[in-house]
C-alpha cells in the first residue's frame, strides 16, 4: 500500500480570535465610557465634566480613557455618534410604517423629536458637537464618523420625500424642491428641540412649549408640509394621529 499522506495542517486562528476579543473588549469599554459620560453630563453638564472624574467613575486610569478619547471634544463627538446610532433604531419604525411615503416621513420626523425629548443629554451632545469650536479640535476620524452618521439619516429622510414627490405635486423636473423641504423640516425639528432645552422661551411661553412640544411640532410640521404642496384637508389631524401612535407611546 502506498504511504498515506499526513493530514492537512489546519491554520491556526487563535491570533485572529485574540484580536477579535481585544476589539470587542475595547468596544464594550468605549460604550461603558460613553454611557457613564452621558449620565454625568446629564447631572453636571458637559463643561463641568472632568476627564479624571470620568475615569474614576468608570474605574479605569486616565491614560486608558485618553486611549479611547484623546480630548473632551472627542468624547463629545463620541456621544453624538452614539446618539445618532440610538436614534437610527427609532427610525426603523418609520421604515416599517404601513402607510404612504409622506406618512413615513412624518413618522420619522415625530420619532426624531421624541428621541431628543426623551434623551436631552444626547441631543445636547449632538447640538454642541456641531459647533466649529468643538469639531475643529476633535480627531478628524471622529468628525468624519459624525458626518457619516448624519449623512445616513439625512439620506433616509430624503428618500421618503423623493418617494412622496407625487403627493406633494412635485414633478421629476422639480425634485430638487424636496431637498429644500428636507432641510426646512430638519431645521424645524432641530430648532424645536433646542428651544425645549432652553429656558429662554419660558419668558414668552412659560411651560407651554415644554409641556406641549409634540403638539406644537405637529401643527408646525403639518403647516410646513401643507405649504410645500401636501394639500390634505385634514393635514394637522393626520400628523396628530401619527403622533399619538408613534410619539406619545412606545412604537
Residue 203 CB neighbour total at 10 angstroms: 7
Contacts of 151 (CB under 8 A, 6+ apart): none
pLDDT by residue for the chain (251 residues), tens only, comes to: 454 554 555 555 556 556 667 788 888 999 999 999 989 988 888 889 999 999 999 999 999 999 999 999 999 999 999 999 999 999 999 999 999 999 999 999 999 999 998 888 899 899 999 999 999 999 999 999 999 999 999 999 999 999 999 999 998 888 889 999 999 999 999 998 888 777 766 667 666 777 788 999 999 999 999 999 999 989 999 999 999 999 975 54
Between CA 128 and CA 114 the distance in angstroms is: 19
pTM of the model: 0.84
Between CA 100 and CA 18 the distance in angstroms is: 48
Amino acid at each position: 500500500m502506498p504511504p498515506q499522506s499526513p493530514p492537512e495542517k489546519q491554520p491556526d486562528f487563535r491570533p485572529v480570535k485574540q484580536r477579535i476579543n481585544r476589539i470587542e473588549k475595547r468596544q464594550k469599554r468605549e460604550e461603558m465610557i460613553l454611557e457613564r459620560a452621558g449620565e454625568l453630563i446629564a447631572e453636571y453638564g458637559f463643561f463641568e465634566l472632568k476627564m479624571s472624574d470620568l475615569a474614576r467613575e468608570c474605574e479605569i486610569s486616565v491614560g486608558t480613557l485618553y486611549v479611547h478619547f484623546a480630548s473632551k471634544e472627542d468624547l463629545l463627538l463620541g456621544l453624538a455618534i452614539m446618539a445618532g446610532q440610538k436614534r437610527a433604531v427609532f427610525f426603523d419604525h418609520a421604515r416599517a410604517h404601513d402607510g404612504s411615503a409622506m406618512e413615513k416621513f412624518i413618522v420619522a420626523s415625530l420619532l426624531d423629536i421624541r428621541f431628543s425629548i426623551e434623551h436631552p443629554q444626547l441631543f445636547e451632545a449632538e447640538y454642541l458637537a456641531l459647533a466649529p469650536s468643538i469639531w475643529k479640535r476633535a480627531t478628524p476620524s471622529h468628525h468624519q464618523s459624525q458626518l457619516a452618521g448624519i449623512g445616513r439619516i439625512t439620506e433616509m429622510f430624503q428618500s421618503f420625500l423623493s418617494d412622496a414627490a407625487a403627493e406633494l405635486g412635485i414633478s421629476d423636473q422639480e425634485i430638487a424642491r424636496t431637498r429644500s423641504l428636507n432641510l426646512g423640516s430638519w431645521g424645524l425639528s432641530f430648532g424645536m428641540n433646542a428651544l425645549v432645552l432652553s429656558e429662554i422661551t419660558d419668558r414668552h411661553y412659560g411651560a407651554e412649549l415644554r409641556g406641549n412640544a409634540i403638539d406644537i411640532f405637529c401643527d408646525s410640521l403639518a403647516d410646513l408640509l401643507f405649504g410645500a404642496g401636501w394639500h390634505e384637508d385634514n393635514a394637522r389631524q393626520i400628523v396628530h394621529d401619527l403622533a399619538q401612535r408613534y410619539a406619545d407611546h412606545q412604537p
